[in-house]
Structure 1
């Protein structure tokens, strides 16, 4: 029990801690005479069929070697308990990659051979001084998002002057970064107070702020060093083995922890723009690969003011969506959001780099001015008026000429400030959903018609002839 206490709380303190420990060792001792005689008899009985010369040689050997046996004996000696080196006290330039990996496995109790995806070793100076090592694990634990808001579990250990204090401090990292493993060692925090008082200490806020910044820088660097992510041709000279080792690392990170980045955008308004840079998604032009918002903006058409996106259950479903017909024809790139959390994400991520986000399944889509818009609107005035009156009892608020359809005759879009159809589906599938709130947030529908489609043209002719 005393060994466990020392290992947990004083594993890394400067001076050595020994314990007077017992252990069993194998010792060779002379065999008893009775046992010797029994061994002689057994030896003689088994060797009768052998030649006399061989028996004589064995007898001579047995006379020369004293007979012994192995027994367990308890011995006592001083055992060093804190033999793991505190690598965070050393200069990062002096610590090897193997030492960082070995320390991660010790810290995270990870017994696999997988290397952490990234790590950051730094010293913070100023009003609050501390040293820290942060790791991005090679894979996500199965229960990462179970009881996300109720769990107090943390993978970050707090030390004060090399003495372990706690690994249950939510104040050190926000929940969306709880997947990180690591260690913080501060000389500023008081050692002789309770954990409850320590949680209220003003220095913790400063430590948290610096840890978040360093953690996001570490993840950003992981993306920058991945050859699959980089669009910069003028890269530093690196060996081919280094490049191949880093290839695909950010995709691996995103597949494991991407949801945490999205939750961070929802929860952390201060670092929302930094987190948005780490977002990855597929688009109509990404050819199955992940792309970033910066890469999307670099490919935007001249005169395009908004970032177009669409939400749904799968990429395959969205690729065949009628909402994309005109956008594809005009060569606009559209982002696919297929994770349920994306609907909540886009309620908080309103713009990026002065570009507004536009859901292409909602009303108000602008694809540039068309000189024929006014003519078409006037030409189909009778039809839209008739249709609006016919659908007034079906929760359809308006009927308009569409600028997003090409081959489809008509489509229903949701109002700009209400839920999208995908969000409505998500909310209806929740067990404890509030029906009254759903009715409020659902909003009105708008029917958009395609003036170029033969069916719509025929309907217009019939309404003109017979308005009833």
Structure 2
């Protein structure tokens, strides 16, 4: 029977899914001890072994020399990158042998453990990195480490040197290995492949040549590659096991294979008792001492501290984003979030586990934290790095703008197999693949918010309280996503003032007949808004009013003036009209004519403050209210602008003062008894100074209720005191009578003491000028003198 390539591929796929007989180290083990290979994995070639090498010298390809010069002098931003590159290469080698073992299980016979091990040797100032991957033959060592066997290499290096062009991922050219010369004076690579009976050694000192020789130690690896890095004097920090573990956790935490670091720890053990030889039967008997011998008494066991070495696995966190989301439990997601954020008690409101397919394939796991980070909104203009980018489970960077700023509170990982990177894997290229991934993730994040709103209103309310301002910022900034974001916003309203639970869609559903606008009122707090006179008639007629108490709300309605065909209307500004104006009482026109004398008198009396006086459609209980014109500032907006800082403070103050100088509209309630009485007094010409003061105070209290700050606090308090004096029958000229005891003058003794202290201070200054004493020492001495 003829077996096609398709059949072979299917068999390989089934075996891989079933995990067919591929030995590996358990991912659950926190500490792995490999006694059989500890010696070989923790020591490189000794000096006497190097002398035994029968070497053959080769010259680097010209491009390699140029490349190493670039790497050492300018290419990489951080030299710690070398460890990430070597681990990534080791992982690739392990992937290759594991794939080969799917069709040929005997490939693993030479070394069954699939691991990456890292050991520091302080005696020789070297770092040994060993993998049990596919290994290299002698020819492969020369080809892979001595040349860049790719066409267009010169062009590639020219782009690299000029920092221009679209430089593709590091793996295409295999140059990650040479980053080792950032920290190494000399590098030795020992490798054993199943295709070569001998183990060979490659050595170079980052100059123009390298040597290859048969390894005098024989086949110590079984299979795989061991890189011995002879560290420079300035790179000895990489001998520290904690430093190595930290770098592995930072860059390679999600590599598929166990990464082991040779580690030491101190253990306290019981010291072994000294052994004595058994006496012969012919020995003379010892006389029993008449005195009691303490030797038979129990002795305290002696303790000693020993240094114990073992392999510690560092990458214990599993990349659950690579699994099918149906196979991951909620507990797994929570545990991963806590490990990922390094917060053992951290909680996430929700998450999105997504696999993108099509032109760009990637996997992502994005979380919504239960609370915003401290100072998140204060630092919104700065870059926040909460999402980590991986390529094939190797951490690349978190310094990139995958999400817009208004979604920078999201945390998680994105893993793309084929995302183009620059040669140092540190700066992402402006590539359409990244833009495509970003578009997908923003859309999935908004869908995640919408799903949370449908499934759990309580959690969504928590989300809005924490990140609602960020969404509003998104509605302001993003033209593309504005409508979707607007549907996710929540506000308090007269329908539900308890918290931000009212959606714009819900508001439109409850709108009255012929209502064409969405009414809102802004303020510092819900209680302030609820006590505003602007609400009175709207609530009395059954209209719902949105309470906008977030400082960003004013900017939101300026950039998003409407939603689904309904426009926002600030009930504290301009002429307020309703959809059923034609049905209102026609006697309003007669009322306006009737009150015209009062309008004229109020406009004259309050000419410094108001531009016009009209009958109000807003008021039912209050006598009057102050309304800004359509392009003026409400009281809330004036306070917000006054509270803002910034470099252009003078220009801002100038604009604010100009806006404040605009006169307001005074609306009066003709049905209020105070207004009726005032009309009677005006019509009967019964107007005096007291009435003018009363109306002025009434205007000022109305200004406070309308949200405007008082311009003349002193005058207001004096007028209030005058009204109180008249109300209780106290003369306006009568003053308070108090006995004040005058303070005594300073005595001569006190004056002499002050003069003495001043002289001492001057003497200290002269001494310090002569001896140039540090300021801190001067303060300390002066403090002692005093």
| Deviation readout 1:398-420 (Å, 9 max, x if unpaired) | 32221111122221100112222
CA distance in 1, matches of 2:488, 2:477: 15
Residue in structure 2 matched with residue 310 of structure 1 by the alignment: 521
Sort the Cα spacing of 1:146 and 1:208 in 2 relative to 1 into closer, same or farther, 3 A: same
The CA distance in 2 between the partners of 1:415 and 1:20, in whole Å, is 75
Residue 330 of structure 1: how far off its partner (Å): 0.5
2:547 is the alignment partner of 1:336? yes
Aligned to 1:76: 309
Q: Distance in 2 between matches of 1:27 and 1:407?
A: 86
Unaligned runs of 5+ in 1: 35-43, 48-54, 230-247
Q: Which residue of 1 aligns with 2:363?
A: 131
Match of 1:288 in 2: 498
CA contact (8 A) 1:160 1:190 kept: no
Does the alignment pair 1:204 with 2:437? no
CA distance in 2 between partners of 1:375 and 1:168 (Å): 69
Distance in 2 (alpha carbons) for counterparts of 1:199 and 1:336: 44
1:220 and 2:434 matched: no
Pairwise CA distance, 1:109: 1.0
CA contact (8 A) 2:628 2:634 kept: yes
Q: Find 1:89's aligned residue among 319, 322, 330.
A: 322
Which residue in the other structure is 2:654 paired with? 436
1:406 alignment partner in structure 2: 620
Instruction: Give the match for residue 482 of structure 2.
Output: 272
Deviation at 1:394, TM superposition (A): 2.1
Question: Tell me, what secondary structure is at the counterpart of 1:336?
Answer: strand
Q: Which moved more, 1:21-30 or 1:297-306?
A: 21-30
Partner of 2:467: 257
3-state DSSP of counterpart to 2:372: coil
**2:252 is aligned with 1:21:** no
Q: TM-score, normalised by structure 2?
A: 0.50
Instruction: Find the residue that maps to 1:158 and give its secondary structure.
Output: strand
CA contact (8 A) 2:493 2:502 kept: yes
Question: Partner of 2:575 in structure 1?
Answer: 364
Query: Is structure 2 residue 414 aligned with structure 1 residue 184?
Result: yes
Match for residue 589 of structure 2?
374
Tell me which of the two structures has the higher relative contact order, counting C-alpha pairs closer than 8 angstroms and 6 or more residues apart: 1
Displacement after TM superposition at 1:292 (Å): 1.9
- How far residue 69 of structure 1 moved from its aligned partner, in angstroms, is 5.0
Q: What is residue 146 of structure 1 aligned with on the other side?
A: 378
The 2-side partners of 1:377 and 1:436 are apart by 37
Matched, 1:117 2:337: no
CA distance in 2, matches of 1:99, 1:139: 20
Q: Shift of the alpha carbon at 1:385? A: 4.8
SS at match of 1:128: coil
Change (3 A) 1:382 1:73: same
Corresponding position: 1:446 with 2:446: no
Which one of 395, 418, 443 corresponds to residue 164 of structure 1?
Answer: 395
Say if 2:254 and 2:319, in contact at 8 Å, map to a contact too: yes
1:161 and 1:186 in contact (8 A); partners too? yes
- CA spacing shift, 1:135–1:46, aligned 2, 3 Å: farther
Q: Is the 8 A contact 1:160 1:191 kept in 2?
A: no
Over 3 Å counting, the alpha-carbon distance change for 1:390 and 1:30 in structure 2 is closer
Matches of 1:305 and 1:414, distance apart in 2: 21
Cα deviation, residue 68, structure 1: 6.7
Report the Cα offset of residue 360 of structure 1: 0.9
User: Would the alpha carbon gap of residues 91 and 466 (structure 1) be closer, same or farther in structure 2, given more than 3 Å must change?
Assistant: same
Question: Would you say the 8 A contact 2:492–2:502 is kept in 1?
Answer: yes
Cα distance in 1 for residues equivalent to 2:478 and 2:293: 85
Distance across 2 between alignment mates of 1:465 and 1:426: 44
Q: In 2, are the aligned partners of 1:101 and 1:115 still within 8 Å (CA)?
A: yes
For residue 466 of structure 1, report the CA deviation from its aligned partner: 6.1
Distance (whole Å) between structure 2 residues aligned to residue 203 and residue 467 of structure 1: 81
Could you report, residue by residue, the CA deviation over 1:167-197 in whole angstroms, capped at 9, with x for unpaired residues? 222x111222121110111123224534674
- Alpha-carbon spacing, 1:45–1:448, altered in 2? closer, same or farther (3 Å): farther
State the match for 2:131 in structure 1. none
Q: Secondary structure of the equivalent of 2:348?
A: coil
Match of 2:245 in 1: 3
**Does the Cα contact within 8 Å between 1:165 and 1:195 map onto a contact in 2?**
yes
Alpha-carbon distance, 1:96 to partner: 0.8
Separation of aligned partners in 2, 1:375 and 1:120: 63
1:444, 1:121 → 2: CA distance? 56
- Secondary structure of 1:277 counterpart: helix
C-alpha separation in 2, matches of 1:124 and 1:375: 69
Shift of 1:334: 1.1
Q: Does 1:107 align with 2:340?
A: yes
Q: Which runs of 5+ in 2 are unaligned?
A: 1-242, 277-291, 688-786
Secondary structure of 2:431's aligned partner:
coil
The range that moved more, 14-23 or 255-264, is: 14-23
Alpha-carbon distance in 1 for matches of 2:590, 2:555: 39
Aligned-pair distance for 1:458?
4.5
* Residue pair 2:421, 2:429 contacting (<8 A) in 1 also: no
Are the aligned partners of 2:533 and 2:619 in contact in 1 as well (CA < 8 Å)?
A: yes
Does the 8 A contact of 1:401 with 1:448 survive in 2?
yes
1:325-371: CA deviation from partner (whole Å, max 9, x where unpaired) = 11111111111122222222222221112111111111121123124
Return closer, same or farther for 1:467/1:266 CA change in 2, 3 Å cut-off: farther
Partner of 2:405: 175
Distance 1:137 1:198 in 2: 26
Q: Structure 1 residues 148 and 115, CA, compared in 2 at 3 Å: closer, same or farther?
A: closer
CA RMSD in angstroms comes to 2.9
